[in-house]
């Protein structure tokens, strides 16, 4: 279906179902954006307050042009607005890219019927003790129930000290051998000008210890809490990776804003995937830690927790050997550490349904669009927008 026919046929039906009212919950009255195709067709989306109207023609406060292929990728969730940005496939003609990003949740609500996270969703998530943690001694029904409701889980003491030491040794050796542009690491720049490694990828391909961990019975059990069909992803989608926190970063993606792991693209094949994070160092505000928005894993792609949802934001403190678990679609963040000596490391193993293996070839990842520019130095959205 073309850009023009989608808006002439599909959008009126979606509005008639009430999806516009759902979308309006992510917007402010008067918010507007015009989307155009390279053939000249233009449609303007405008929030009326309680609903959204879509009319032919220009006139939005922001204006964005997509070619037919880019629009098809967006409306079928092969790529998100951020994936199109990093791939240089979206052209902002008026306003700025952040206006399009601000409409992403509204467009998903309208196009896909995906609900917007609001104060009602935050209140529903608080029906359980969000600060509770567990261990593998807990039964699967308890663990799976908490994960299904909140979108995340914290498991204490999954790995023994000697296992953590072995993984730290592998990470240290990998980091020492890494270099910008090597295709297996991400880099950032500190305030003092030093380039620092902030991520290592595809580690299972080079370490038998890491490869074995992805298939370890403890971890396949954890993945099975979400879906018994989930498989460890070691040879694509960045494989098994290690995220490294660095202090005073001024450029690059060492620190991650609120996001979803399908936020670049591939939601329909990546979700409901699970990311299992092995903590190799203490996680806290000083050394770097994860934040989760409880219950956000069924909602549209908002850019952060909405007003009134603070009580549903969970900050995770963890010790080496603890494991965090989250659905890729759960909204989460990894803000800058506060300590000048921060250096927390966490190893992530992704588990995905067979459809993801069919859609993404070995050695490839949606994140490739991040590292294919700027000499492999992964830039933040603000840096890409600024050119």
Q: State phi, psi for 200 to the nearest 5 degrees.
A: -120, 140
**pLDDT tens-digit readout, 346-363:** 999 999 999 999 999 999
DSSP summary character for residue 334: E
Q: Which element (helix H / strand E) includes 342?
A: none
pLDDT band at 69 (very low <50, low <70, confident <90, very high): very high
Give which of 292, 293, 290, 282 is closest to 335, Cα–Cα. 290
Query: Across the chain, what does the average pLDDT equal?
Result: 95
Which tokens in the block code for residue 19? Answer: 């999806």
**pLDDT tens-digit readout, 302-318:** 999 999 999 999 999 99
- Report CA-CA distances (Å) from 72 to 56, 76, 78, 213: 19, 6, 8, 38
- Per cent of the chain over pLDDT 90 is 91
**pLDDT tens-digit readout, 204-245:** 999 999 999 999 999 999 999 999 999 999 999 999 999 999
pTM score: 0.95
The pLDDT value given to residue 1: 80
Helices (H), the chain: 3-5, 11-16, 19-24, 68-75, 81-86, 97-112, 119-125, 140-150, 161-177, 208-215, 217-224, 267-270, 354-359, 368-371, 381-386
In the numeric block, the tokens 């505000």 are attached to: 285
pLDDT band at 375 (very low <50, low <70, confident <90, very high): low
State yes or no: pLDDT of 75 exceeds 90.
yes
The pLDDT value given to residue 238: 97
Helix (H, G, I), strand (E, B) or coil at 283: strand
- Report CA-CA distances (Å) from 264 to 78, 114, 321, 333, 377: 9, 17, 29, 15, 17
DSSP summary character for residue 186: E
Domains and CATH numbers, the chain: 3-112 (3.30.1050.10), 119-386 (2.60.120.620)
Q: d(Cα 371, Cα 263) in Å, to the nearest integer? A: 15
Q: What average pLDDT score do residues 2-23 get?
A: 96
State yes or no: pLDDT of 130 exceeds 80.
yes
- As a three-state string, the secondary structure of 211-266 is HHHHHCHHHHHHHHCCCCCCEEECCCCCCCEEEECCCCEEECCCCEEEECCCCCEC
Q: What average pLDDT score do residues 93-111 get?
A: 95
């Amino acid at each position: 279906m073309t850009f023009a026919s989608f808006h002439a046929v599909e959008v009126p039906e979606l509005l008639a179902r009430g999806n516009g009212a759902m979308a309006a919950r992510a917007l402010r009255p008067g918010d507007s954006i015009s989307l155009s195709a390279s053939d000249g067709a233009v449609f303007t989306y405008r929030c009326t307050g309680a609903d959204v109207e879509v009319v032919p023609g220009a006139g939005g406060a922001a204006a964005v042009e997509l070619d037919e292929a880019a629009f098809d990728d967006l409306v079928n969730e092969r790529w998100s607005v951020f994936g199109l940005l990093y791939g240089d496939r979206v052209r902002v003609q008026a306003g700025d890219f952040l206006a399009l990003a601000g409409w992403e949740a509204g467009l998903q609500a309208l196009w896909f019927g995906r609900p917007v996270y609001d104060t009602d969703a935050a209140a529903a998530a608080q029906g359980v003790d969000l600060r509770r943690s567990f261990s593998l001694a807990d039964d699967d029904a308890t663990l799976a129930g908490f994960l299904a409701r909140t979108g995340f889980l914290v498991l204490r003491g999954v790995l023994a000290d000697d296992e953590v030491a072995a993984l730290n040794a592998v990470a240290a050796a990998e980091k020492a051998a890494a270099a910008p542009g090597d295709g297996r690491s991400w880099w950032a720049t500190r305030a003092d000008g030093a380039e620092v490694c902030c991520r290592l990828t595809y580690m299972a391909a080079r370490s038998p210890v890491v490869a074995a961990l992805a298939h370890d019975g403890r971890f396949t059990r954890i993945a099975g809490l979400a879906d018994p069909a989930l498989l460890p992803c070691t040879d694509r989608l960045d494989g098994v990776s290690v995220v490294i926190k660095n202090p005073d970063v001024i450029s690059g993606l060492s620190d991650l804003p609120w996001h979803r792991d399908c936020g670049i693209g591939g939601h329909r094949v990546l979700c409901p995937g699970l990311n299992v994070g092995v903590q190799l160092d203490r996680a806290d505000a000083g050394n770097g830690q994860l934040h989760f928005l409880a219950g956000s894993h069924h909602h549209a792609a908002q850019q952060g927790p909405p007003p009134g949802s603070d009580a549903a934001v969970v900050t995770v403190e963890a010790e080496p050997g603890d494991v965090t678990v989250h659905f890729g679609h759960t909204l989460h963040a990894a803000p800058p550490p506060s300590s000048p000596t921060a250096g927390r490391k966490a190893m992530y193993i992704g588990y995905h349904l067979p459809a993801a293996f069919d859609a993404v070839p070995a050695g490839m990842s949606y994140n490739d669009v991040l590292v294919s520019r700027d000499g492999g130095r992964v830039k933040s959205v603000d840096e890409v927008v600024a050119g």
